[in-house]
A and B are shown apart, each in its own frame.
Chain A
Amino acid sequence: MGSQKRIAKELGELVQSPPDGITVELADESNLYDWKVHMEGPEGSPFEKGRFLIKLTLPTGYPFKPPSVSFATKIYHPNVTNDDKGSMCLGMLRPDEWKPSSKISAVLEFARQLLAEPMPDDAVEGRIAEQYKNDRKRYEEIARDWTRKHAT
């Protein structure tokens, strides 16, 4: 299956005309399946001015299998695990929701949108989600603090 051709095409398009606040490159020039993504925190969010490193891994079954997205930069967010993996849980990346015609650019844009608007009901960090819902001010304070500490 021509997954290499598809990946190369997507990479080319993303490098040529990157979406807002997102730049991509290969982690290793000889390997199409590991990407390094830099994402700027969306304006108006507590992650503003932060620059987050995201690892995007494509399975060999791509595009029939979904890519996986994880934050290498620590981030205080209900939908990102607060451990050394920093996995992000996205609905569209679930195996039964993923469509082979979905594009990486859509995944990244969706991820950035999630930074601006967390989905506390689909949280992986229940405690942070709780805080996001009940004590927004404190949540933003900590998130901004973490952004300053880890992402600048």
Chain B
Amino acid sequence: MSKAAEAIADSQPPSKAKAATKAASGPGLATAPLKPPRPPTPTPATSTTELTARGSSVSSVSAKKDIVTSATTSMDSDDDFMSDVSSQDDFLDTQDSDNDSLGEDFGDLDGGFSDDKDLLTQKRKPYEVEFKVLNPADIEREQLAQISDVSAILGLPPESAAILLRFGRWKREKLIESYMDHPEVTLEDAGLGTNFEGAAKLETIPGFMCEICCEDGEGLKSYAMRCGHRFCVDCYRHYLGQKIKEEGEAARIECPGEHCHRIVDSRSLDLLVTNDLKTRYRVLLTRTYVDDKENLRWCPAPNCEYAVDCHVKNRDLRRIVPTVKCACSHEFCFGCTLNDHQPTPCGLVKMWLQKCEDDSETANWISANTKECPRCQSTIEKNGGCNHMTCRKCKHEFCWMCMGLWSEHGTSWYNCNRYEEKSGSDARGAQAKSRASLERYLHYYNRYANHEQSAKLDKDLYLKTEKKMTSLQSQSGLSWIEVQFLDTASQALQQCRQTLKWTYAFAFYLARNNLTEIFEDNQKDLEMAVESLSEMFEKPVPDLANLKVDILDKTAYCNKRRIILLSDTAENLKSGEWSFNVTW
């Protein structure tokens, strides 16, 4: 009797080796990962642009342009506008933190400047969130406004207020409260100390020896912060340079003195280091500012230096998919900074991507080559030999052909003709069940992957669109404006495929209820519309002129279907109508 069974542990997929992710070793050796340095920031002329995400219909695109120009032409009033916004946001921020209701976050934020708003947004769609884009100058201005504000309230020098704010992660109300309650403890914890006397200046003190380099020459210039730890200027400078340049530290540089936790303030720094270091220092500070603020995120696009301000909180991400669009035109999710993934919420996106990374290739292979042990459900690959299988894990003996008990095979070994037997059909039933879940996953994955692939192909097509548009112009006598419909169509295709792709991940986790049918209908409608637009789009250039009206109609229809689908899913998500077959 030959035993020919191979139990494959779930954690070791045969076709795919998992990349081992090594955690940093012992606590003493781990260092925090640094964000790759952002390029120094030439301040672009654009100022804060208040935008709202919207579908890519022609009218909304032109509306957006209007906003940008109106905002850029009125620079003077813009500053007021800005500070207005930030102070109001602050107010709301602190309010929100005590309040769990979603309405607070997404309700009427625009009390102060509703005039602008009425012009800009007819009505926000259910899947859109309010946000604004900040350039580096805006971010710096926001910081300075808050620093001078706190400095005035607490009567501290601005450089100290800055340290206090950074220590408190810019939670202004909380900070002021804790300062009012125990000023000394708060200052000590923040690395400030209570002594604010004396100006920051370099001094030459007779008989001074620097503790770092042990130099004691006459006329040696030295510096000490208010903690009194005095070192020579060269050592101080070298120390700061190393912290800023090599370690990328700015907000929490401590005094070089042993066991001293005073934070080096910006005035001391200005006195000691060269201009390029000062610039780098500011860039680093701005970075920590954005990292610290819950309502700010960097745009993840390469080389983009804008940040987005949005008041969707992490806890809201179960009910909202906050897609934002940066001024660089990159659309991303404010919650997880991945590319736009509406209508699927961040938590499910993460699970789905993880699952795809782990599973899809493996699942395909498993589906084609293996069966499960009828008793313990271990996945088994038959590695040759006869049909008498012995599970390596649970020692269950069964027939590979009918999946029935081997003991019932009597003497008819090596030849299974017992298909209708009870034990066999039970085993096959259980197997079919587990297969079905695999097949279900593959169903959604294949459609998801297909749209991803098609979107890529459409993108290639998009690159050729301009060429198409040029040749269409010359062949049909249409003007440049008149051939823009191709560009619009190709953008709609991209966007709709992106949405469709994620509807499949969404559907995979969606538990059936009355609403899923509507969702699937919406999905089907959008899919059909997209496929037929895609087909028209691929027609040879001479036909395109005749198809113009059809393409325009279909583009509009696609966009409309997408809006309907997204609105429907977003509304149900917000009101908690969806139920999911996983916990997340």
Contacts and interface: CB of A to CB of B under 8 A. Distances in A.
Interface of A: 1-3, 5-6, 9, 61, 63-64, 89-91, 93-96, 99-103, 106, 121-124
B234 A1 contact: yes
Contacts of B26: 89, 122-124
Contact of A101 (B28, B215, B247, B258): B258
B25 A2 contact: no
Contacts, number: 66
B31 interface: yes
Contact of A64 (B238, B249, B254): B238
B362 to A, nearest CB: 32
B421 to A, nearest CB: 53
Q: Which of A3, A63, A90, A103 has the most CB of B within 10 A?
A: A63
B213 interface: yes
A2 B220 CA distance: 13
A64 B28 CA distance: 18
Given A64-B242, A122-B27, A96 B249 contact: yes
Contacts of A101: 211-212, 229, 231, 256-258
Interface string B207-229: 00001111100000000000001
B113 interface: no
B480 interface: no
A79 B260 CA distance: 26
Nearest to A92: B258
Contacts of B258: 99, 101-103, 106
B213 A1 contact: yes
Contact of A124 (B28, B214, B231): B28
B22 to A, nearest CB: 15
Q: What size tier do the contact residues of chain B reach?
A: 20 to 34
A54 B239 CA distance: 28
Nearest to B28: A89
A124 B25 contact: yes
A90 B28 CA distance: 7
Given A95-B247, A96-B247, A100-B256, A6 B28 contact: no
A130 to B, nearest CB: 14
Contact of A89 (B29, B31, B256): B29
Given A1-B235, A106-B258, A6 B212 contact: yes
Given A96-B247, A101-B257, A106-B258, A2 B215 contact: yes
A123 B27 CA distance: 8
B28 A63 contact: no
Nearest to A126: B26
Contact of B213 (A5, A106, A123): A5
List 8 A-B pairs, minimum CB-CB distance, nearest first: A89-B28, A2-B213, A6-B214, A124-B26, A100-B212, A101-B258, A5-B214, A9-B214
B213 A99 contact: no
Nearest to B211: A101
A29 B211 CA distance: 24
